[in-house]
Amino acid sequence: MIANFIFSLLLIAAAWLFTRNVKRISRNIRMGKKVSINDQKPKRWKLMARVAIGQSKMTTRPVSAIMHLFVYVGFIVINIEMIEILIDGVFGTHRILSFAGSAYPVLISLFEIFALLVIVACIVFLIRRNWIRLGRFWTREMTPWPRSDANIILVTEILLMSSILLMNASDGLLQDRGSLHYAVVGPFLISDLIKPLLAGLPDASLIVIERSTWWFHIIGVLVFLNYITYSKHFHILLSFPNVYYSKLGPLGKMDNMPSITQEVKLMLNPQITADHTANEEEMGQFGARDVNDLNWKLLMDAYTCTQCGRCTSSCPASMTGKKLSPRKIVMDVRFRAEELGRYLHRNGNGKGDGKSLFDRIEAEELWACTTCNACVEECPVNIDPLAVILELRRYLVMEKAAAPGELNATFSNMENNGAPWQFSNEDRMQWAGTN
């Protein structure tokens, strides 16, 4: 049939485009520095099961946790019905899984319950964002695009879930009337409540509604599948590997630079031969100036960010009116990765476009951070904004000598006096002898 051929073409096109978009994201993530993160595998699997699958860090905010659970479980359960839709679309069958007999209406009713719960959750989220206007959804980085992105996702999910219920209701009426190709496989729990609204329509109109909602749902899912590659909603795929590769050591710990470690060893032990001394070329750049100076895990963090704002709403610097927003830092990394990725894709792996992360992130934001790790603790998918902040700080201090005055004074005292205080070694203990 022509309809099956068109469906197959749409499915292939959507799968090709999705694959292409995922490759683009993978390419951008791989711009980051290589780092090996695959130790303690049993601990990582347990962490992923608890945080990514079990949603354990969502529970700190019960309303969000419950609503998100509806959407999360609904997404998984309802996608089982997508298997049937795909088979029907390719082979021209109708409700191919109905061979399950009496279990089939139970399954469809379960899908409908979760579809309704998803609709309720999305409506609640829309109200919280647009009418109640929770503060964390209206900070300065939440420009019209991020806010619109969230609303597009929520409205789309409402429409997709509603189309399932309307499709099942019209299908159920056609089953009741014994219409051709609509064998009795119901009843269905939620859509049966909608059937009275459509009962006065003739069979031809019901068939149009059933077919149009079927096509709307599958085309909507295919469009949505590709939209999420440009959206914050890509976290539904990346959250699992992102949590798996979480930092297992102390939060906030900075990685030592091998070249600096070697220099310190040389200073402490002059007998080390010059062959072991890192020359200026081997040292490279200190810290991060742009996204390709960060490691790949930090770029994956940026693409996993849900933009929920829990990090910013828990940040003491942000709460006290400072310019820092951990969410903005992570969003800026993603936007810059997209920008640089497009440039390098067009122009090859040259020197870059002359821009950097500092065109988006100001020094004032970085130095407002207290390194308390509240943002890292709060993130439901274990993103580490602090690691980005520390790498940018390292660049400012070691490459640009652009630390705040207080820090520069501390550095000078450590260099001259061996301690942060402005006293020589001989005078340091004089206070103890005063009355």
387 and 312 fall within a common domain? yes
> Is the alpha carbon torsion for 206, 212, 214, 220 positive or negative?
negative
Residue with tokens 């485009």: 17
312 and 279 fall within a common domain? yes
More confident residue, 392 or 406: 392
The pLDDT score that the predictor gives to residue 272 is 63
- Could you report the per-residue pLDDT of 62-72, keeping only the tens digit for each? 989 999 999 99
38 assigned to some structural domain: no
Asked if residue 53 has pLDDT above 90, the reply is: yes
422 assigned to some structural domain: no
Counted domains in the chain: 2
pLDDT category, 79, cuts 50, 70, 90? confident
> Dihedral, CA atoms, 112, 227, 53, 253, nearest 10 degrees?
-160
192 and 333 fall within a common domain? no
The pLDDT score that the predictor gives to residue 187 is 86
Largest distance between two CA atoms of the chain: 103
Among 233, 249, 278, which residue terminates a domain? 233
159 and 22 fall within a common domain? yes
264 and 381 fall within a common domain? yes
User: Mean pLDDT over residues 53-75, rounded?
Assistant: 91
77 and 182 fall within a common domain? yes
226 and 301 fall within a common domain? no
- In CATH, what number is assigned to the domain containing residue 265? 1.10.1060
Tell me which DSSP letter residue 7 carries.
H
47 assigned to some structural domain: no
The pLDDT score that the predictor gives to residue 241 is 96
- Could you report the per-residue pLDDT of 179-232, keeping only the tens digit for each? 877 888 888 889 999 999 999 999 999 999 999 999 999 999 999 999 999 999
207 assigned to some structural domain: yes
Q: Which of 66, 142, 125, 148 is nearest to 313 (CA)?
A: 142
The pLDDT score that the predictor gives to residue 380 is 95
Residue 327 near residue 311, CB atoms below 8 Å:
yes
Q: What percent of the chain has pLDDT over 70?
A: 95
194 and 322 fall within a common domain? no
298 assigned to some structural domain: yes
398 assigned to some structural domain: yes
Domain containing 147 equals 2-30+61-233
319 and 222 fall within a common domain? no
- Could you report the per-residue pLDDT of 186-201, keeping only the tens digit for each? 888 899 999 999 999 9
121 and 184 fall within a common domain? yes
Tell me which DSSP letter residue 432 carries.
G
Q: What is the 3-state secondary structure (H, E, C) of 109-137?
A: HHHHHHHHHHHHHHHHHHHHHHCCCCHHH
Identify the weakest region by mean pLDDT among 2-6, 107-111, 275-279. 275-279
- Could you report the per-residue pLDDT of 341-369, keeping only the tens digit for each? 999 988 877 677 889 999 999 999 999 99
44 assigned to some structural domain: no
Asked if residue 274 has pLDDT above 70, the reply is: no
Tabulate helix, strand, coil % of the chain (nearest 5). Answer: 70, 0, 30
432 assigned to some structural domain: no
91 and 222 fall within a common domain? yes
Bridge partner list, 295: 33
228 and 265 fall within a common domain? no
Q: Mean pLDDT in the chain?
A: 90
Within 8 A by CB and 6+ apart from 35, the residues are 295, 296, 297
The structure tokens listed for 328 are 């903005």
User: Could you give the CA distance from residue 69 to residue 66 in angstroms, rounded to a whole number?
Assistant: 5
Tell me which DSSP letter residue 50 carries.
I
Asked if residue 278 has pLDDT above 50, the reply is: no
pTM (global) more than 0.75: yes
- Could you report the per-residue pLDDT of 84-106, keeping only the tens digit for each? 899 999 998 888 888 888 899 99
Residue 269 zone, left/alpha/beta (φ > 0; ψ -120 to 50; rest): beta
Asked if residue 281 has pLDDT above 50, the reply is: no
